[in-house]
Each structure stands twice: as C-alpha cells, then as structure tokens.
Amino acid sequence: MDKLKLLNYMKTKQIMIALFAISLMACKNITSCETDLVADNVTFATQQIGHQVKLIEKAGQFINPRTIKDDKIQYIPFDDWTSGFFPGSMWYMYKLTGDEKWKNLGIKYTESIDSAKYVTSHHDVGFIVMCSFGNALKATKNEAYKEVIVQAAKSLATRYRPTPGVIQSWDEDKGWQGTRGWMCPVIIDNMMNLELFFETTKFTGDSSFYKMAVSHADVTMANHFRKDNSCYHVVDYDKIKGGVRSKQTAQGFADESAWARGQAWALYGYTVCYRETKDKKYLDFAEKIYNFIFTNKNMPDDLIPYWDFNDPNIPNAPRDASTAAIIASALYELSTFDKPEYKETADKIITSLSSPSYRAILGTNGNFLLMHSVGSIPHGHEIDVPLNYADYYFLEALTRKKGLEK
C-alpha cells in the first residue's frame, strides 16, 4: 500500500470511528440500538462475504479461505482444522438473513469438505464437522448429515486414550513444536470437539461417545487449570500408566502464561458441557473461567483481549479479535442458564468488534469481517491478520444476540 492510499485509508477509518461513536451516543433506546447493531453487521457481512463468494465462484470450485498473507487470501484443504468455519459462516448468514442464497452456498461448501469425516490424524474433526455439517443439519434437517457427524465421531474416537481418559490432540511427533518428548499431548482447544460426541450419542443411542466426552472434560478440569482458574495450553499425559507428564505451551507466551484464546476455548467448552449434561459443576467452572478473564488486570477497557494475558509488552502487545468473538458467543449462551448478566458483557464485546477499530472497511481485509486476530506469535504465524474463525464466532454471536433480543 503506497503512502497516498495509506493516508486515505487512515482518514476514512478515523471518520468511520467518529461516526460510530456519534451513532452510539445518539441512540437512546437500548433495544433499538442493539437491533440496529445486529442489522448493521448483517448488512456489512452480506456485502463483504458476498465479495469473498464471488472470488470462490469465479474459481469454479470451492476454495476455502482462512486468512491473508502478504495481501493475498490464503486457502486451505478439507483437513485443515479451520476448514469448517467458512462453510459454517454460510449457515449463520442464512439464519441472520433468511436469504436462500446463503442456504444454497452452505450446502455446496459444506458438502465439499465431506471427506473430513475420515480425518484421524488430529483431533480437530469436531471443529470441522460440527461447524459445517452440524449447522447444516439444524438448518436443513437433512438426515444424510447425521451420518457424516457419526462417522466423524468414530474417527475422533480413535484418538481416545482410555488410561488417562482423554482425547489425544496431536501425535507424539507432531504439533506446533514437533517432538518435545510428548506421549499424549492434549491442548485446551480439544474441549471444542466434545460436542461432536454429545451429538453422536443423541443420534445413535451409543453412550460410549457421551462417556468419552465427560471423561475428557473431567480430566481436563482436574489437570489443565491453575489455582487462579487460568489454563495451560498443553498437558502431556502418560497413556500407559496414566497421570500428567508435563504442562507447557505451544502458542502462548510461556508455559505458565495465560494464552488468551485458550481461556476462550475453555469458557466455551465448559458452557457446552453444561448444556449437554446439565451437570452444574460445568456451569460453576465456566463461571470461574469467566471471573479469571474479566477480573484480569490486563483485560483492556474495550474487552478485546491481548493475545496472552501475561505478555510483558502489554499494553503494546497485539490484540486478538478471534478470542473476543469466541468469548462473546459463549457468553450469550451462558446468559441463557439463568445468568442474564453475561449478556451485558457479551454486548460490550460485540459493540467493540463492530467498531471501525476491529471491523474492516468494505472491500478490504481480504473480504474477511474482522481485523486484528492472532494465530501463533511464538511461531511468527498469522499475527495481526483476519482469521476465518474470528468471523465465524462473530456471526454466531450475532445470531445468538438476535435470538435473545427477539
């Protein structure tokens, strides 16, 4: 971007920030403001994602966008852990707009990653399939999608290790940092895959999937968390004798730091566990995670977290919009469990994400919705870029917000 273009961009952004602030101050009816915020985001998303769709359709095949690098959109294969998010975004666009266009795109893009149901090389098949086929099933009631979900659960079950009672995340010699002498590494992200097991039990009546999900949640609760209710990123188990071998990080600042997105996965994951089991210990634990996040001295006023709560460069450390979107979506659901106060926090996050500080200008940002997300700073990977899962959870949060405010 040359200097003239950069100057014009900054002027435009400053004007948008001013207009956004004025619109918030001018809005006197809270319910109307909240509705307008959702409607404004839906209008923007329709246009912005519409640009992305045009590029995909022009290619003549489904190319699955994940992020941008060197101002170019990066596309991914079906077995990438993020491959379900863009198809899933189609389903939330359909739910938010009612436009059949998004339903048809959802079917097309979801069915294009059908082979993901056979992935056994990592644990993220839950992410991939539930975000795409899980949402597709809810929207279409197509029974064929149940078969995909059940097969995906069977694939994920191959990674369950009975002795420690957990789902192994990465193979011993793979993962972000290659071999570190791991035997059975489990990352906090894995909590997000448990919904796949819960759903499969409903479809099949096979309680073994339910039991694996509960075991993983309980063992993770016992070993992944510190006294302040922050969580480690990686816990390595002994899959022969049982027990913990080490506690580390791969994507956070340090082994003992609180990697922000890890806290978000934990909050969301235990919220789902409560929804599916109605065991109050999971609701109580989600509340403890919430308290750690929002009483942390390094949480910014706009509630968009720094990428790691313990980065010594705070306040000059990168923010992570993806973490904020995940947290907001979890809080909207958490608020439905007789916890209405959590909606207020989620609303504040969504208001911040909707501002020009985080939401892209139309036609920029590789046609992604949100700016300023972080993949992995220790690996120099996806730093201060858009990410498809930030957009997915932003749209999910907007969908939940809209549903609550009807």
Give the angle 309-310-313 at the CA atoms, nearest 5°.
105
pLDDT for 24 equals 52
- Residue 302 CA to residue 315 CA, distance in Å, equals 13
Single-letter code of the amino acid located at 30? I
- Check residue 370 and report its DSSP letter: B
Q: Six-digit token pair at 391?
A: 């957009």
pLDDT for 172 equals 86
Cβ 166 vs Cβ 222: under 8 Å: no
Distinct helix (H) and strand (E) counts, the chain: 14, 9
- Tell me the β-bridge partners of 387: 67
Q: Which one is catalytic: 189, 236, 308, 391?
A: 189
Give the angle 196-185-175 at the CA atoms, nearest 5°.
90
Which stretches of the chain score pLDDT less than 70?
1-35, 174-180
CB atoms within 10 A of CB 6: 10
Model pTM above 0.75: yes
Residue 303, SS3? Answer: coil
Give the angle 71-75-77 at the CA atoms, nearest 5°.
160
CB atoms within 10 A of CB 278: 10
Rg over CA atoms, the chain: 20
Residue 11, SS3? Answer: helix
- Residue 330 CA to residue 349 CA, distance in Å, equals 12
pLDDT for 34 equals 60
- 391 catalytic per annotation: no
User: Residues 6 or more apart from 80 whose CB is under 8 A from it?
Assistant: 64, 66
Dihedral sign (CA 112, 170, 85, 373):
negative
Residue 336, SS3? Answer: coil
The conformational region for residue 35 under phi > 0 = left, psi -120 to 50 = alpha, else beta, is alpha
Residue whose structure tokens are 């993962």? 175
Single-letter code of the amino acid located at 177? Q
Question: Where in 8-131 does DSSP place strands (E)?
Answer: 64-69, 72-76
CB atoms within 10 A of CB 406: 5
Cβ 284 vs Cβ 278: under 8 Å: no
pLDDT for 359 equals 98
For 92-113, give one letter per residue: b (16+ CB within 10 A) or e.
bbbbbeeeeebbebbbebbbbb
User: Residues 6 or more apart from 105 whose CB is under 8 A from it?
Assistant: 53, 90
Cβ 116 vs Cβ 152: under 8 Å: yes
| Alpha carbon 394 to its chain's center | 9
- Residue 158 CA to residue 194 CA, distance in Å, equals 14
Q: Six-digit token pair at 106?
A: 């959802």
Q: Which one is catalytic: 80, 124, 308, 347?
A: 124
164 cis-preceded (ω within 30 degrees of 0): no
Predicted confidence (pLDDT) per residue in 155-205, tens digit: 999 999 999 999 999 998 766 555 568 999 999 999 999 999 999 999 999
- 189 catalytic per annotation: yes
| Alpha carbon 330 to its chain's center | 10
pLDDT for 264 equals 98
